[in-house]
Every structure is written in structure tokens, then in C-alpha cells.
């Protein structure tokens, strides 16, 4: 083979190599575009309580924070971001599944970039609820306040990228709403004030009315794809068992009375969400009910997925510890992935992952329909 022939051969190989490399990059880019086009989601925007607060409470005056160890033990670089878990939340798994971003940051974080804003943030605040009294108890952001921050968010986007692009993001975003447990566990069942004003059925109706008002306000601000989490089996939360069992140390079984409240509320919520979806279907509504009750019950009562401990939190004794009671001085379990609960209220990352997988079919149907 002559020198000229070798040079031509090497040049041809180089050209083929570059074409192959180029095709790989094009393939990846096309795949990303297909993911975004397939799911039709521009951003993930989150509202609610500690189940979806990635750290907003870090920036307000409240004792309800999770920005210190051992929170974040299994997060990237073991950073305690303010998430009330050892790692990711369900909203983070959803954002990853949609190919939007790795995790959803707190809106109040002053270090947010324009990319953070355009791909979605969380307005949620640990300790919040639909009852106006609930966030007052712990001095956190109410749902109406979160909505006001959403309006501010839209104004910030408009100033940065213009009205047209902002409108597209708002229209094509996925909205997640997760709240209500604090209204019952922290407020109605623990404190006396609302029990003096409302019977349990009337309080359920009161909370439902407040939630539907919030949903309508969110709709009025441009939300079209909305996923709404129901209540968990409240009688299975470690803190509820501890506070309301006759012998909480010996008997760690779920208290069905509290879980029955969840079932009643969830049934009403599904009916109302179906009605809202039907009434707004011609306007592009995609409103879905996210069932978290069933996967949690499957784990706690059905003993699915092989968890070692489902009655106690990983942090401390697992009986009462949460927020400042779960702190750097607390002993923690050796493997949080074997525990359903991280502290006495909040699920572990592994449990959030299971909840996400359970709601994924509903999510995909809602997005791709």
C-alpha cells in the first residue's frame, strides 16, 4: 500500500469516525427532544407541604426546617437541602422521569439561575395546609402565599425571557399539589381549636372547599396539567401511632380511624377532580389524582417490597422525631432504604420512589393523552 493510499485510507477512517461520533450526538439530542416532545412538559411547578418542600423553609422564620444532618444523608454529596427526607422527594423523581431536570429546587433559594426558573421550582412549605390556621401554627407559607409567589415567578420569567416564552412555559408545565395531612394530624386531631368549631365531617368539607378554591385559583393563573396527591393512610404514620395508641411502645399497629378519614377525603377528592377535569376538558385540562394511600398501605400493612421497618422512623427512636427533634445528635438506622419512614412523619427516599412508580401510569396518561 503506497503512502498516498495510506493517507487516503486514514482520511477516510477519520471521516467515518467523525460521522459516527456526530451521529451519536445527534441521536442523543434527538432523543432528548423526543422525550420533551413526548411528554409535552416544559417545567415542573410544585405546591404544598413538607412532602414537596425542597428547602423553602430555610429562608423563612420557622422552626420547621430540615437543612441540617441527618436530613439529606443519601442526597448528592450528603447535602441537607431542606428536604424532609434522607434524599429525593417524589416531585424530584417525577422531574427526572419527564427529562426536565434532576431535582426541583426551592423558589426562595436566592442562588437560582434562569435555567432553574424556566424548568421549574417548588413553592411548597413544610407545615403548610389548606386550613388558614395550619400554616399559622408553624409560621410557614400558606397555599395562598405560595400562589402569590407563583405570580411573582411569572413576572420574573416575563422580565427575563419575554411574555410569549413565559406563556408557553406556564401552559405546558406540570403542576403538582401535595398537602392536607397537616390540617388533620397537626391541626384538627392534635389541637382543640378546630374541633370546637367543626365536627369531623364538616371539617373534611371545609378542607375540601379550601383545596378546590386553591385548585381553581391555580387554574385561573394558567395551570392546565395538574397532578394532585391524596392523603396517606394517616393512621399508619409513626407519629400518629405514638400520639394516639393506648400503648404506643408495645402496639405499633395502624389506627384505622385516622386512615378512614384519609379514605373518605380521598374519595371526595377524586370525585371533585374528575368533575373539574370534565368541566375544563375543552380548555385542555389534564387533571389527575395521584394515589399515595395505596402504595404506602401496601408497604406498611401488606409488607411489600421487603422493608425491614415500617412502623418507626429511621431517625432517633422513630417515635416522635421530626424536624428539630431529628438532628445531628440523633442516632440513625444503618440503612434508610430498608425503612419506609425517615423520621416519624416523612417517608424515606426509597418509599418516595415506590410512590412515584405507583403513580407513574397516571402521570404518563395525563401527560401523553
- For range 346-369, the mean pLDDT: 95
| pTM score | 0.89
Task: Give the domains, in start order, of the chain with CATH numbers.
Answer: 40-292 (3.40.50)
Q: What confidence tens digit (pLDDT) does each residue in 180-210 have?
A: 999 999 999 999 999 999 999 999 999 999 9
Helix (H, G, I), strand (E, B) or coil at 45: strand
User: Which DSSP string do the residues of 171-231 spell out, in sequence order?
Assistant: HH-EEEEE--HHIIIIIITTSSHHHHH--HHHHHHHHHHHHHHHHHHHHHTT--EEEEE--
**Would strands 174-178 and 225-229 be described as parallel, antiparallel, or unpaired?**
parallel
- Residue 152 has which C-alpha cell? 411573582
State how far the alpha carbon of 93 is from the alpha carbons of 87, 104, 153, 165, 308, in Å: 11, 9, 23, 26, 23
- pLDDT at res. 61: 97
- Residue 288 has which C-alpha cell? 389527575
**Out of 32-36, 197-201, 212-216, 295-299, which region has the weakest mean confidence (pLDDT)?**
32-36
- pLDDT at res. 114: 96
Q: What confidence tens digit (pLDDT) does each residue in 129-142 have?
A: 999 999 999 999 99
The residues that are catalytic are 50, 343, 346
Percent of the chain topping pLDDT 90: 86
Amino acid at each position: 500500500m503506497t503512502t498516498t493510499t495510506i493517507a487516503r485510507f486514514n482520511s477516510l477512517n477519520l471521516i467515518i469516525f467523525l460521522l459516527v461520533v456526530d451521529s451519536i450526538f445527534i441521536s442523543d439530542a434527538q432523543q432528548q427532544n423526543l422525550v420533551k416532545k413526548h411528554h409535552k412538559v416544559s417545567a415542573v411547578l410544585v405546591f404544598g407541604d413538607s412532602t414537596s418542600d425542597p428547602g423553602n423553609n430555610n429562608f423563612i422564620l420557622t422552626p420547621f426546617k430540615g437543612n441540617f444532618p441527618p436530613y439529606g444523608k443519601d442526597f448528592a454529596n450528603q447535602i441537607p437541602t431542606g428536604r424532609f427526607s434522607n434524599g429525593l422527594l417524589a416531585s424530584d423523581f417525577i422531574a427526572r422521569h419527564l427529562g426536565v431536570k434532576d431535582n426541583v429546587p426551592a423558589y426562595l433559594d436566592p442562588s437560582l439561575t434562569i435555567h432553574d426558573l424556566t424548568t421549574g421550582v417548588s413553592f411548597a412549605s413544610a407545615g403548610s395546609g389548606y386550613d388558614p390556621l395550619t400554616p399559622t401554627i408553624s409560621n410557614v407559607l400558606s397555599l395562598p402565599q405560595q400562589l402569590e409567589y407563583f405570580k411573582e415567578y411569572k413576572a420574573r420569567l416575563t422580565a427575563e425571557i419575554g411574555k410569549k416564552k413565559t406563556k408557553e412555559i406556564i401552559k405546558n408545565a406540570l403542576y403538582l399539589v401535595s398537602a392536607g395531612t397537616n390540617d388533620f394530624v397537626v391541626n384538627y386531631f392534635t389541637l382543640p381549636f378546630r374541633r370546637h368549631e367543626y365536627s369531623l365531617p364538616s371539617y373534611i368539607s371545609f378542607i375540601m372547599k379550601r383545596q378546590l378554591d386553591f385548585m381553581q385559583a391555580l387554574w385561573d393563573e394558567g395551570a392546565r396539567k395538574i397532578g394532585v396527591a391524596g392523603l396517606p393512610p394517616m393512621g399508619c404514620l409513626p407519629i400518629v401511632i405514638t400520639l394516639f395508641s393506648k400503648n404506643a411502645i408495645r402496639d405499633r399497629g395502624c389506627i384505622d380511624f385516622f386512615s378512614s378519614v384519609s379514605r373518605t377525603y380521598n374519595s371526595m377528592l377524586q370525585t371533585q377532580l374528575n368533575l373539574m377535569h370534565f368541566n375544563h376538558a375543552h380548555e385542555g385540562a389534564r387533571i389527575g389524582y395521584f394515589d399515595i394511600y395505596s402504595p404506602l398501605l401496601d408497604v406498611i400493612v401488606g409488607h411489600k417490597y421487603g422493608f425491614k421497618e415500617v412502623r418507626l422512623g429511621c431517625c432517633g427512636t422513630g417515635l416522635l422525631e421530626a424536624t428539630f427533634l431529628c438532628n445531628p445528635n440523633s442516632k440513625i438506622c444503618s440503612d434508610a432504604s430498608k425503612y419506609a419512614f425517615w423520621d416519624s412523619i416523612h417517608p424515606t427516599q426509597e418509599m418516595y420512589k415506590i410512590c412515584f412508580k405507583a403513580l407513574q401510569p397516571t402521570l404518563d396518561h395525563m401527560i401523553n393523552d
